[in-house]
Structure 1
Amino acid sequence: MFCMKKVIEQFYPTGKIHIPGSKSFTQRALAAALLAEGVSEIRNPSRSDDALHAMKVIERLGATITDREVELIVQGGFAPLSYEVHCGESGLAFRLFSAIVALHDAEMVVKAGGTLRNRPMDMIENSLQELGVRCTTQRGHAPVRVQGPLLGGRARVDGSQSSQFLSGLLMALPLAENDSELEVDSLKSKPYVDMTLEVLESFGIRVDHSGYRYFRIPGKQRYRACRYTVEGDWSGAAFFLVAGALGGPVEVTGLDPQSGQADRAILEVLEKSGVNMEISEEKIRVWRGDIRPFDFDATDCPDLFPPLVPLAAHARGKSTIRGITRLFAKESNRARVLEEEFAMLGVKVETEGDVMQITPGPLRQGVIDPHGDHRIAMAAAVMAAGDVPGVTVLDPGCTAKSYPTFFHDIQNIGGKIT
């Protein structure tokens, strides 16, 4: 039954939590397994809505999937069974597969749902046209119509809003007939490009780059089926690490402390803030200290804005987070929603230019409307782990986009939810 709201009583967070697999790595691995000839095994896959949509897409594009709960067995082979695919609200899936379907010579339509229909997709149209592919969008938005084949060549890629379409080209162009060269302007989120390059290497694909500005992709390559283990999701883990910082101790397992994921930077902020931490290969243990205000640039890790607001709300003074222009085209206008909704809990969030400042105030009970944004909903719930008397979160089901077991895991560290 659809749940309209969840009421989280104030609680003291303590306990252990195991973090599920990264949805970002899972979707990239699924795309690579589609393009590989043979059988790939993807272990510890994300079960988020975004990952489930990516699974459906690769099946429509010719892959077969056997789900063994702890792993997915994927028989690869790009041979579309349909000329239309639907990516749900996954921006990554949409931008990855818009490039990949260009390998086919028939017209393909890539559709989106929910707020993704309002997010910018013009970078797809411009770059594919430069590569000789027919491509049209709906005035710079979904759906995208693509007709290849993608043969390779040279193109410029706008990386100022997202690196996701660059990732899509890096995955598609190795199968093109000719070599390719990409020149990338104003690239943001370089760690996410590294994530793509890591997956490509695991599947036997070579891509060269110079300072993330110029990429050279040899054509006529072959993806090699492999066994791929998805590492734990630092984006989701950040909320539980912050919850531990507001009380604790909370032990978080399932993470690679040496991960290249952008949101591993949460550890840097927690250290700046004076939070107590113990880090080992097996677990990260966090508990409250005298939380200091912090100054942090989140340009390369914009998904950390939501969990950092609850941390800043419990600091001894005003905190500053830079890079808010990355928030305007998320599931919501994330900067505006954080500013308006967290005011309901007594938190003063101010934005100017590229900067967000958070000033703690007398915290109070309140109702938060996440505007369909999964990370806003999770940030609101974490506030109840601190000094807020209780939080009501509307539309809690939106957390399934990235973390379907989020509220269950909040209960595992002491959360009382009705």
Structure 2
Amino acid sequence: MRVSVSKSQVSGTVRAPASKSYTIRGLMCAALAQGDSEVIAPLSSDDTGAARDVLRAVGVSIAREVSSKRGEWWHITGDSFREPKKDLFCGDSAATLRFMAAISSRVPGECRLTAGPSLAQRPVGPLVAALRQLGVDCSAQDGLPPLVVRGGGLRGGVTELPGNISSQFVSALLLIAPLAGREVTIRLTTVPESKPFLLMTLECLKVFGIDVAASPDLREFKVSPQVYKPARYLVEGDWSSASYFLALGALSGPVAVASLNPDSLQGDRALLGFLKDMGAQIEIDKNTVTVRKSRLNALKADLADVIDLLPTVAVLAAAASGTSELTGI
């Protein structure tokens, strides 16, 4: 196949797809809530499909609804777990595998979580060790999937793990901590990576009635026993997906991207600051961000917490006058 791309004048409006990270977090919290919840405007993708499938396999009712007025939403009846009849295949969705490793401690009987070929090569040993410290009976041969988790035994207490391996390990512990027999303290032995994802987890927990006491540096979390409450959870647009169109606006524009939360906790919202630093013309009207063609200047940017922005920022830097410096990569 041959593809030819020629110089073009680009302009218009697009709608940002829903956030995958928020969709999966909303699903997991709704599954743990007693009663009926709604996840509104979710993302339909391979990863969110994997999350739906494994939750259904352990007894969670998830019904997809669509209307011309409301668009798409998922109706979820949670806290109705039963032992699965087969392995829980998580595909290559790391969030699904890691979150379900913790949630499976609430499922009666035994859960065996399997993964696709890529995810099967990614270690889960630190998460298994942290869950064991809380009383969970779980194992993973050589620290790799599949994982076996036996329900019950989530007593609580103190658990420690490195913070610089995966924020999803920490988020998995935060999801299950409120349901332990006693207060849970999660201590990170190193500085956490991807702090924005931890803040997103805390935000989602808050919507479903869960309070977490977190230290300012996100190195320690204290969670008392609590009950998840049903909620109507609106999934905001994905800043990572929107970043390509916003950058396109600065290079060719004007381009407007709708369904974005200007105050989002998503780390990739940092692109707005990078564009402003480069001199791009930006307009924000409620949930729509417009970027116009601009003369761009070089910038210095730390991408440690927003590494997904590297390709976009690199292209912008290539089109900017001067020498840019990108660190944290």
TM-score normalised per structure 1: 0.73
Question: 2 CA distance for matches of 1:78 and 1:166?
Answer: 24
SS of 2:181's equivalent in the other structure is: coil
Q: Does 1:166 align with 2:163?
A: no
Whether contact under 8 Å (1:20, 1:44) holds in the other structure is no
TM-score normalised per structure 2: 0.92
SS of 1:139's equivalent in the other structure is: helix
- Structure 2 residue ranges without an equivalent (≥5): 67-71
Whether contact under 8 Å (2:81, 2:106) holds in the other structure is no
1:265-276 aligned within 5 A: 265-276=270-281
**CA 176–229 in structure 1, closer or farther in 2 if over 3 Å, else same:** same
1:392-407 aligned within 5 A: none
Q: Does 1:110 align with 2:113?
A: yes
1:134 is aligned to: 137
1:263 is aligned to: 268
Deviation (angstroms), 1:129: 2.0
For these two proteins, the number of residue pairs brought into alignment is 320
**CA 166–5 in structure 1, closer or farther in 2 if over 3 Å, else same:** farther
Question: 2 CA distance for matches of 1:137 and 1:10?
Answer: 52
Identity of aligned residues (%): 38
Which string of whole-angstrom CA distances, capped at 9 and with x for unpartnered residues, describes residues 335-361 of structure 1? xxxxxxxxxxxxxxxxxxxxxxxxxxx
Q: Aligned Cα RMSD in Å? A: 1.8
1:19-418 aligned within 5 A: 19-69=16-66, 70-82=72-84, 84-104=87-107, 106-149=109-152, 150-185=154-189, 186-211=191-216, 212-219=218-225, 221-324=226-329
Question: 1 CA distance for matches of 2:163 and 2:298?
Answer: 31
Deviation (angstroms), 1:285: 0.9
Whether contact under 8 Å (1:103, 1:176) holds in the other structure is no
Amino acid in structure 1 at the alignment position of 2:9: Y
- Larger CA deviation: 284-293 vs 233-242: 284-293
Whether contact under 8 Å (1:99, 1:172) holds in the other structure is yes
- Larger CA deviation: 114-123 vs 243-252: 114-123
Tell me which of the two structures has the higher relative contact order, counting C-alpha pairs closer than 8 angstroms and 6 or more residues apart: 1
Whether contact under 8 Å (1:21, 1:46) holds in the other structure is yes
Whether contact under 8 Å (2:242, 2:257) holds in the other structure is yes
Question: 1 CA distance for matches of 2:59 and 2:237?
Answer: 28
Amino acid in structure 2 at the alignment position of 1:127: A
Whether contact under 8 Å (1:33, 1:40) holds in the other structure is yes
2:69 is aligned to: none
Deviation (angstroms), 1:7: 5.6
Which string of whole-angstrom CA distances, capped at 9 and with x for unpartnered residues, describes residues 57-111 of structure 1? 2111211111113111111124134163122111111211111112335332222
Whether contact under 8 Å (2:47, 2:96) holds in the other structure is yes
Whether contact under 8 Å (1:18, 1:252) holds in the other structure is yes
Deviation (angstroms), 1:169: 0.8
Question: 2 CA distance for matches of 1:235 and 1:94?
Answer: 22
Whether contact under 8 Å (2:83, 2:108) holds in the other structure is no
Deviation (angstroms), 1:154: 0.9
SS of 1:125's equivalent in the other structure is: helix
Deviation (angstroms), 1:319: 2.2
Amino acid in structure 1 at the alignment position of 2:93: S
Question: 2 CA distance for matches of 1:285 and 1:208?
Answer: 37
Deviation (angstroms), 1:8: 4.7
Question: 2 CA distance for matches of 1:318 and 1:86?
Answer: 47
Question: 1 CA distance for matches of 2:188 and 2:4?
Answer: 45
**CA 116–264 in structure 1, closer or farther in 2 if over 3 Å, else same:** same
Question: 2 CA distance for matches of 1:255 and 1:34?
Answer: 26
Amino acid in structure 2 at the alignment position of 1:300: D
Question: 1 CA distance for matches of 2:258 and 2:2?
Answer: 29
Question: 2 CA distance for matches of 1:86 and 1:240?
Answer: 34
Whether contact under 8 Å (1:238, 1:304) holds in the other structure is yes
- Structure 1 residue ranges without an equivalent (≥5): 325-418
Question: 2 CA distance for matches of 1:294 and 1:277?
Answer: 17
- Larger CA deviation: 49-58 vs 96-105: 96-105
**CA 169–6 in structure 1, closer or farther in 2 if over 3 Å, else same:** farther
- Larger CA deviation: 128-137 vs 226-235: 128-137
1:404 is aligned to: none
Which string of whole-angstrom CA distances, capped at 9 and with x for unpartnered residues, describes residues 196-238 of structure 1? 111111111121112211111112x211111111111111111
